[in-house]
Amino acid sequence: MRAYLKVMKAAADATRVKILKMLQYRELCVCEMQTLLGISQPAVSRHLRLLEEADLVRSQKDGMWNNFRLATTEECNPFSAVTLKNLRTWLEDEPQIKELRKRVATVDRATCAAGLGMGRRSASPEMRSLRADTD
């Protein structure tokens, strides 16, 4: 039952769902997710830790970068495998997910590195709208 509850807790947060949806499209590092979501690096890391503990994502060190991807079926527990399978088709028509999908294709370490020190006040209107509406 513990594995089931970890997966449900991890999937019950709007920011973590956004992270899972972004990772459907490609592997991302923390700074890329920080740029896409408009939240702090510690907040992204905290969400990723919960997702890893629930067997939903995996990380791999690449020099100074930590890359994250969705866990494969072989790496998942049965509950996380079913959640990831279902999430692939869920929420695809949600405006926030559509916007993230577009932006995932354009973000990279080179473009997000300049924004690492960016505070909440200087976030773009697109990032503020993604951060503000977590339903």
pLDDT tens, residue by residue, 39-62:
999 999 999 999 999 999 999 998
Q: How far apart are CA 18 and CA 114, in angstroms?
A: 23
- Identify the domain containing residue 85 by its residue range: 2-130
Please give the pLDDT value at position 119. 42
The CATH number covering residue 126 comes to 1.10.10.10
Please give the pLDDT value at position 112. 73
pLDDT tens, residue by residue, 1-32:
999 999 999 999 999 999 999 999 999 999 99
Does the pLDDT of residue 135 top 60, yes or no?
Answer: no
Pick from 77, 62, 68, 74: which is nearest to 24 by CA?
A: 68
Q: Is residue 120 part of a domain?
A: yes
Number of domains in the chain: 1
Please give the pLDDT value at position 120. 42
- Size of the chain, expressed as the number of residues it contains: 135
Higher pLDDT, residue 3 or 134: 3
Q: How far apart are CA 28 and CA 51, in angstroms?
A: 14
Q: Is residue 69 part of a domain?
A: yes
Alpha helices per DSSP H over the chain: 2-11, 14-25, 30-37, 41-53, 78-87, 95-104, 109-113, 125-132
Looking at 9-13, 29-33, 101-105, 124-128, which range is the least confident one?
124-128
Please give the pLDDT value at position 122. 40
80, 54 Cβ separation under 8 angstroms: yes
